[in-house]
Amino acid sequence: MVCPPPGWLLQAATGAAARRGHDLECWRTLIKEGVPQGQRNNTIASLSGHLLWHGVDREVVAELMLSWNRVRCRPPLSDDEVLRTVQSIARLHARHGQGTAPE
């Protein structure tokens, strides 16, 4: 399943006001069905951003994304790649005052 990019990402990329993220059904589908090669990194970035936006601690986000990747990504990414993606999104949120920077 391919969902449109989340609003926070569109806003960061274009500077324009956009809606905040995917609708609830899209998030539920992504979590349940997972994603194939070619969508894994972007989806992990979107899910991480969504969780961080809603105040989930970055270490919790990292562990959730590692677990989700192992079970739902076809094939899974390396743990290092998942953690780099989560850290990148956490830094983006910190720059925009939406969370804390990774240590």
Q: Above 70 in pLDDT, residue 102?
A: no
Residue at 103 is within a domain: no
Whether 102 is in a domain gets the answer no
Q: Is residue 71 part of a domain?
A: yes
Is residue 54 assigned to a domain?
Answer: yes
Eight-state DSSP code of residue 21: S
How far is 98 from 35, CA to CA, in rounded Å?
A: 27
Whose tokens are 């999104």? That residue is: 89
Q: How many structural domains comprise the chain? A: 1
In a domain, residue 5? The reply is no
Whether 75 is covered by a domain: the verdict is yes
pLDDT of residue 45: 97
Mean pLDDT of the chain: 85
* Contact yes or no for 82/44 (Cβ under 8 A): yes
Q: Is residue 18 part of a domain?
A: no
Q: Tell me, what's the pLDDT at 103?
A: 43
Report how far Cα 2 is from the mean position of its chain's Cα atoms: 14
Domain for residue 12, yes or no? no
Q: Containing domain of residue 71, as a range?
A: 35-97
Task: Give 8 or 53, the one with higher predicted confidence.
Answer: 53
b/e per residue 13-51 (b: at least 16 CB within 10 A): eeeeebeebbeeebbeebeeebbeeebbbbbbbbbbbbb
Q: Give residue-wise pLDDT tens across range 67-88.
A: 999 999 999 999 999 999 999 9
74: phi then psi, degrees, rounded to nearest 5: -120, 105
Lowest pLDDT segment from 7-11, 36-40, 78-82, 85-89: 7-11
